[in-house]
Amino acid sequence: MRKLASDALDQLTLGATLLGTGGGGDPFIAKLMVQQAIEDFGPIDIVDLDELDDSAQLVTVAVVGAPTVIIEKVPSGREFTDAVRALASYMGRKIDAIMPVEVGGMNTLIPLAVAAELGVPCVDADGMRRAFPQIEMTTFTLGGLTSSPMSLADEKGNRVAFETTTNLMGEKLVRGSAMMLGLANALASYPMTVAQAKTAAISGSMQYCSDVGGLLRDVQRQEENAWDRFLEFTEGRIIFEGKIIDVDRRTTTGFARGTVTIEDFADPTRTMRIEIQNELLLAIEDGRPVVTPPDLICMLDFETADPITTETIAYGQRVRILGLPCADEWKRGAWLDVVGPAAFGYDVDYVPLKG
Amino acid sequence: MTLKIGIDVGGTNTDAVVVDADGKVLAATKSATTPDPFDGIRESLSKVIADVDREQITQAMLGTTHPANAIIQRRDLERVGVLRLAAPASLGVRPGASWPKDLLATIMGPAEIIRGGNEFDGSEISPLDEDAVRRFAEKCAGDVAAVAVSAPFSPATYDHEQRAAEILVEELGADFSVSMSHRVGALGLLERENATILNASLLGVARNVVNGFHAALVENGLSVDAFLTQNDGTLMTADEAVRFPVLTLGSGPTNSMRGACSLAGLSDALVIDVGGTSADVGILVDGFPRESTAAIEVGGVRTNFRMPDLISIGLGGGSVVRVGENGVAVGPDSVGYRVVNEALVRGGSTLTLSDISVRSGRLTDFGDPTLAEGIAEDTVRAAMTWVDDQIRIMADRLKASRHALPLIAVGGGSHLVPDDVPGVTEVVRPNNHAVANAYGAAIAEASGTIDRVFRYEGPGREACLEEARNLAIEAATRSGADPTKVRITSVQEVPLSYVPGQACRVQVKAAGPLAS
């Protein structure tokens, strides 16, 4: 068990922004919530799965809704504790610890604030170690764990709990209910025991996020060998460096889609195309897929190494594109059906970044 | 022919120009900036109008750094009550979160989050708790100089902010100041609230500046319409500026860029302003600076103002040049304005970029060129290559498309800018570039903006954009633009993820010359 204090948050937030792969909501608001929670309830306990009893009850907590709504209707805090309590009461079980569902974007930090307020530890594990747009896209699903029963709550005290036959159906019900509940809601889902989590969760993802954030901070401070250390730790690659020459955004139901085209600095005949569905999902160079989901595509400002979110991508930006391999825990069962290129409607094969 | 005065109060100098209706500069002056805005403005005014027909002057425009400096130096700021109409939403982040502690201590009075505010679709989060507003007013009485009121989605639905302001004024008196967030900022509740608090805190500074401006005009026998320039390079009336000083914080660089562009007779161009220590590059599209998408910090507080997208690097006439084992290194340190004494060509002992510029023939009439003869050819070549590379990269980073644009070079160090820059059609060096800021203020236009979420499903995208354009034009006309000359200067659409009905955030700006 270790304590998380306010001064460790900047590194974690930077890591979360990077692992958000351009989406996942603005972690800045979530960081402010965690700071306030630490101020009000004290430092937060972070535990590894090994430190808890196998029978201990876990639940994941996340904010769901629209990032643009969340920057206006900032969370109350109460919707999260309400969602967890609603689920506990529905299940008739006490919740022993909170776990993030995705370590990437603002949902990396939200569970910390919830754990502080509920007075329980937060588990250093999750089901993605990146951000994905839908809640069934988890290693939990691949491990045969169900996302239900789950509960959704708003800040006013409205709560709904439901059970579904598939995790994809759970996603649909959550999305539909969130629209009626103001699009800035708390979701408690994937109730599981520690024993179950050990079979399906990605352990140590918070630590990974914090380490990656620290290594990226070193890059930003232009410390010696910072890039080498970053790439060695993540086993990632710099896949392209150039200037954005086209941004094409499309409004479709539910998702912010788009295509970004980048031209190589030195050789204008080399271009990379990146497909967006909330996150940066697919990188193609000269018609050949280079990074495919679930591997991560991260876009950094070429000069400052700040991660760029998909909403702020603009013509003329000078960028560096990284490809980071996904967590090994993804590679099991029908993983490509759940988070491979086909799951996002892309007619290409998965191209492993690693090995 | 009617004349206009433009004044720019910078950190070091106060510049003033008189411009005729065709944009011709009739007079220009520079004086030292004074601690009391009244003194410096009065002196510049009397100097600049000395030789022009003051009867012809109809308008005076002021751009000033006083409010910005007040925040940076924590000076003359007033204590503010903060009321957020949002509960039960937003309780997870209290007002003032992540502010610098000294600024919090200076500004923050009572702060509360009470019931009220709206959802993204315009419905109420909860009805406004009017009793809580009255109780809050009681706490504020005698304690704070102003109150900042904010609420979720107020840029679209602001009834609650308006009603709360009415109640506060009922309780605290008709002359009590209330700043409402929907008049100050765009989407992003916390950033907008921050901006509104800063605004309320600056009201005293603003009154002082505007009263000083009016007094200086009267004392010089000028009976004219008075305006201040805003962050985006457009105008607000002096009476508006008294209520929204925070909107003037970033006007300096904007005025400089717009002034440079207009002096050069261009509306789409890159602008480089090279001083003694650093160079700023920005881009103008249809006569306005392209705005940054990143969050802007003011005095350590995160806001969502739209500020010019500028790139700055340590490259100026005073940049120090060093020759070492690993070649030639330039800056980032600089001798700044002391270059006139410290450069080699001026008999000093520091090798600066101005010396290099003299040796390479770009800078003439500056000191004694024979004093720079000892600099090795290799050093000159290496330093100039570095300068040319930096300017090329900055210009390239800002360009909005592959289309080549002209580059306007202004400022005391602009001799360093080469005549040929790759990707640039030509380098333009306009007359009067030393007073580009004041000129930018003199030629400023009135504008209006809207920033709202529209749902395209149903009415359709075109109908929504049409409504947005009309709202922006109405807003510009309200700010004094000539209705027959208003034009749309920018439209931005960002589709929203997870929101039904093809929701899209639409930002539109309209601008036009002042109605005369």
The answer to whether residue B134 scores a pLDDT higher than 70 is: yes
Q: Both A55 and A181 in a single domain?
A: yes
Chain B residue numbers with beta carbons less than 8 Å from the beta carbon of A78 are 88, 91
How far, in Å, CA of B310 to CA of B293, rounded? 11
Assess B125–A contact: CB distance below 8 Å, yes or no.
yes
Q: What is the tally of structural domains in chain A?
A: 2
Give a yes or no: residue A221 inside a domain.
no
B98 pLDDT band (50/70/90 cuts)? Answer: confident
Q: DSSP character for A22?
A: T
Contact call for residues B90 and A73 (beta carbons, < 8 A): yes
Q: Which residue has the higher pLDDT, B56 or B10?
A: B56
- pLDDT at residue A246, as a whole number: 86
Instruction: Please report which helix (H) or strand (E) contains residue B173, including its range.
Output: none
* B498: closest CA of chain A, how far (Å): 4
Mean pLDDT for A247-257 is 69
User: In chain A, what percentage of residues exceed pLDDT 90?
Assistant: 83
Task: State whether A285 and A175 are in the same domain.
Answer: no
* Listed residue (B105, B403, B465) closest to B269, CA to CA: B403
Q: In what order do the strands lie in the sheet with B146-150?
A: B108-115, B80-87, B146-150, B177-180
Residues B313 and B346 in one domain: yes
A and B: number of Cβ contacts within 8 A: 145
Q: Which of A9, A36, A61, A74 to probe by mutation at the B interface, max B CB count within 10 Å?
A: A74
In a domain, B276, yes or no: yes
Report the Cα A289 to chain-centroid distance in Å: 23
Nearest to A76 among B92, B493, B500 (CB): B92
Q: Verify that A64 and A198 share a domain, yes or no.
A: yes
What confidence category does residue A253 fall into, taking pLDDT thresholds of 50, 70 and 90? low
User: In this structure, are A128 and A8 located in the same domain?
Assistant: yes
Beta bridge partners of B494: B505
Q: Is residue B90 part of a domain?
A: yes
End residue of a domain, out of A155, A189, A205: A205
Residues 447-506 of B with CB under 8 A from A: 453, 456, 493-500, 502-505
**Chain B contact for A32 (CB, 8 A cutoff):** yes
Instruction: Using an 8 Å CB-CB cutoff, list chain A residues near B126.
Output: 156
* pLDDT of residue A200 exceeding 60: yes
pLDDT average, residue stretch A293-321: 90
Average pLDDT over residues A35-51: 96
Domain annotation covers residue A65: yes
In this predicted structure, the answer to whether residue B31 has a pLDDT above a threshold of 60 is: yes
The CA-atom distances, in angstroms, between A288 and each of A299, A328, A350, B328 are 19, 24, 11, 42
Alpha-carbon gap, residue A42 to B27, rounded angstroms: 64
Minimum distance, in Å, between the CA of residue A256 and any CA atom of chain B: 5
Nearest-Cα residue of chain A relative to residue B119: A182
Strand, helix or coil for residue B508: strand
Q: Considering only CB atoms, which chain A residues are within 8 Å of B502?
A: 251-253
Provide the chain A residues 326-355 that lie in CB contact (below 8 A) with chain B. Answer: none
**Per-residue pLDDT tens digits for B257-285:** 999 999 999 988 999 988 777 888 998 88
The verdict on B408 and B310 lying in the same domain is: yes
User: pLDDT tens digit string along B410-466?
Assistant: 887 889 999 999 889 999 999 988 888 899 999 999 988 888 888 888 898 899 999
Q: Is B401 close to A316, i.e. CB distance below 8 A?
A: yes
Same domain assignment for residues B397 and B426: yes
- Is residue A250 situated within a structural domain? yes
Search chain B and give the residue with CA nearest A26: B188
Q: Does B407 map to a domain?
A: yes
Interface of B with A in 294-333 (CB under 8 A): 294-295, 302
- The reply to whether A23 touches chain B by the CB within 8 Å rule is yes
Q: What CATH number is associated with residue A294?
A: 2.40.390.10
Q: Nearest CB to B187: which of A71, A251, A254?
A: A71
Residues A270, A175 within the same domain = no
Put residue A354 in one of left, alpha, beta given phi > 0 → left and psi -120 to 50 → alpha.
Answer: beta
How far is the alpha carbon of B231 from chain A, nearest alpha carbon, in Å?
Answer: 20
Q: Does some domain include residue A217?
A: no
- Residue A187 sits in the same domain as residue A84: yes
Residues B207 and B193 in one domain: no
Position A339 pLDDT exceeds 60: yes
pLDDT score of B253: 84
Beta bridge partners of B512: B446
> Does residue A133 have a cis bond before it (omega within 30 degrees)?
no
Confirm whether B343 is domain-assigned.
yes
Q: What is the ipTM of this complex?
A: 0.93
Instruction: Say yes or no for a CB contact (<8 Å) between B400 and A315.
Output: yes
Sheet arrangement for strand B57-64: B25-32, B13-20, B3-9, B57-64, B225-229, B234-237, B445-455, B503-512, B487-495
* Residue after which a domain boundary falls, among A190, A205, A220: A205
**Predicted pLDDT of residue B368:** 87
B residues 87-116 near A, CB within 8 Å?
A: 87-94, 97-98
Q: Are B225 and B59 in contact (CB under 8 A)?
A: yes
Residues of chain A found within 8 Å of residue B94, distances taken between Cβ atoms:
36
Please tell me whether residues A245 and A201 are part of one structural domain: no
Residue A224 domain-assigned (yes or no): no
Nearest by CB to residue A72, choosing from B187, B295, B402, is B187
Same domain, A197 and A247: no
Q: Is residue A258 part of a domain?
A: yes
Q: What is the dihedral of CA B168, B169, B173, B174, to 10 degrees?
A: 170
Mean pLDDT of B212-224: 93
Cross-chain CB nearest to B90 (options A73, A256, A318): A73
Q: Smallest Cα–Cα separation from B430: which of B259, B253, B255, B254?
A: B259
pLDDT digits (tens, 9 = 90+) for A90-125: 999 999 999 999 999 999 999 999 999 999 999 999
SS3 (DSSP) at B46? helix
Q: Which chain B residue shows the shortest CA-CA distance from A251?
A: B495
Chain A residues with beta carbon closer than 8 angstroms to that of B493: 249
Query: What average pLDDT does the segment B115-143 reach?
Result: 95
Most confident of A18-32, A253-267, B367-381: A18-32
Chain B CA closest to residue A114: B92
Residue A151 φ then ψ, to 5°: -140, 145
Residues of B whose CB is below 8 A from A66: 120, 496-499, 503
Residue B448, amino acid: G
Look at residues A113, A114, A137, A117 and name the one whose alpha carbon lies nearest to residue A127: A137
Q: How confident is the model at residue B325 (pLDDT cuts 50, 70, 90)?
A: confident
Q: Which of B160-174, B306-320, B421-435, B439-453 has the lowest mean pLDDT?
A: B306-320
Contacts of B442 (CB under 8 A, 6+ apart): B4, B5, B6, B17, B18, B19, B61, B259
CB of B115 closer than 8 Å to CB of B85: yes
Q: What's the rounded mean pLDDT across residues B73-83?
A: 93
Is residue B257 domain-resident?
no
Clarify whether residues B271 and B370 are in a common domain: yes
pLDDT of the residue at B273: 87
Which value, in Å, is the radius of gyration of the alpha carbons in chain B? 25
Contact present, B350 and B342 (Cβ < 8 Å):
yes
Task: Give the separation between CA A72 and CA A92, rounded to whole angstroms.
Answer: 35
CATH of the domain at B347: 3.30.420
Structural tokens at position B54: 């003051």
Is the pLDDT score of A347 beyond 60?
yes
For B380, residues 6+ apart whose C-beta sits below 8 A from its C-beta are B356, B359, B360
Whether residue A190 is found in the same domain as residue A262: no
Same domain membership, residue B277 and residue B221: no
Report CA-CA distances (Å) from A51 to A46, A137, A186, B198. Answer: 10, 27, 27, 47
Per the prediction, chain B carries an average pLDDT of 89
Residue of B nearest to A176 (CA): B500
For residue B279, the model assigns a pLDDT of: 85
Considering the domain boundaries, does residue B255 fall inside one?
A: no
* Residue B226: per-residue pLDDT: 94
What's the rounded Cα separation, in Å, for the pair B89 and A184? 9
Could you say which of B97, B456, B496 has the minimum Cβ distance to residue A36?
Answer: B97
CB contact under 8 A, A32 and B89: no
Q: Are residues B192 and B206 in the same domain?
A: no
Chain B nearest-CA residue for A134: B498
Report yes or no: B439 at the A interface, CB cutoff 8 Å.
no
Looking at A152, A183, A205, the residue that finishes a domain is A205
B277 and B419 share one domain: yes
pLDDT of residue B231: 84
Task: Find tokens 């759940």 and name the residue.
Answer: A338
Please tell me the total count of domains within chain B.
4
- Is residue B254 a part of any domain in this protein? no
Say yes or no for a CB contact (<8 Å) between A74 and B190: yes
* CATH code where residue B508 lies: 3.30.1490
Q: How would you class A186 by CB atoms within 10 Å of its CB: exposed for 0-12, middle for 13-18, buried for 19 or more?
A: buried
Of B189, B302, B504, the CB nearest to A74: B189
Q: Which site among A251, A257, A281, A301 would you substitute to test the B interface, given the most B Cβ atoms closer than 10 Å to its Cβ?
A: A251
CATH number at residue B238: 3.30.420.40
Q: Is B400 on the interface with A (CB under 8 A)?
A: yes
Residue A150 lies in a domain: yes
- pLDDT at residue A254 is higher than 80: no
Query: Do residues B181 and B318 share a domain?
Result: no
What is the C-alpha separation between A230 and B467, in angstroms, rounded?
49
Same domain, B285 and B388: yes
Question: Domain with A73 in it: what CATH number?
Answer: 3.40.1610.10
Q: How high is the pLDDT of residue B293?
A: 67
pLDDT reading at B121 higher than 90: no
Instruction: Evaluate if residue A327 carries a pLDDT over 60.
Output: yes
- Are B213 and B353 in a shared domain? no
Question: In the prediction, which pLDDT does A355 show?
Answer: 67
Range of the domain at A307: 235-344
DSSP annotation of B141 reads T
8 Å CB contact of B86 and A74: yes
**Predicted pLDDT of residue B277:** 79
- Name the residue facing A312 among B119, B293, B302 (closest C-beta): B293
Q: Which two tokens stand for residue B85?
A: 């109409």
Residues A137 and A258 in one domain: no
Q: Which of B387, B405, B431 is the last residue of a domain?
A: B431
Contact A122, A44 (CB under 8 A): yes
Q: Tell if the CB–CB gap between B125 and A76 is shorter than 8 Å.
A: no
Let me know whether A178 and A262 are in one domain: no
Do A187 and A249 reside in the same domain of the chain?
no
Interface of A with B in 118-177 (CB under 8 A): 133, 155-157, 175
Question: Do the chains contact at A255 and B498, CB–CB below 8 Å?
Answer: yes
Query: Are B292 and B368 part of one and the same domain?
Result: yes
| B88 prior amide bond cis, ω within 30 | yes
- Residues B177-196 pLDDT 10s: 999 999 888 889 999 999 99
* Percent share of chain A, pLDDT over 70: 98
Question: Is residue A119, in this structure, part of any structural domain at all?
Answer: yes
B403 and A CB contact within 8 Å: no
Q: Are A109 and A27 in contact (CB under 8 A)?
A: yes
Integer-rounded Cα Rg, in Å, for chain A is: 19
With bands split at pLDDT 50, 70 and 90, how would you rate the model's confidence at A251?
Answer: low
Does A29 touch chain B if contact means CB atoms closer than 8 Å?
yes
Buried/exposed B36-46: b ≥16 CB within 10 Å, e otherwise: ebbbbbbbbbb
Best mean pLDDT range from B11-20, B394-403, B472-481: B472-481
| pLDDT surpassing 60 at residue A28 | yes
Report the DSSP beta bridge partners of residue B408.
Answer: B271, B428
Q: Which of B391, B409, B431 is the last residue of a domain?
A: B431
pLDDT in tens, A116-162: 999 999 999 999 999 999 999 999 999 999 999 999 999 999 999 99
The tens digit of pLDDT for each residue in B282-296 reads 988 878 888 776 777
A183:B498 CB<8 A: yes
Give the SS3 label for residue B513: coil
pLDDT of A338: 95
Amino acid identity, residue A116?
Answer: A
Kindly list the residues from chain B whose CB atom is less than 8 angstroms away from the CB atom of residue A251. 456, 495, 502-504
B38: containing domain: 1-75+202-249
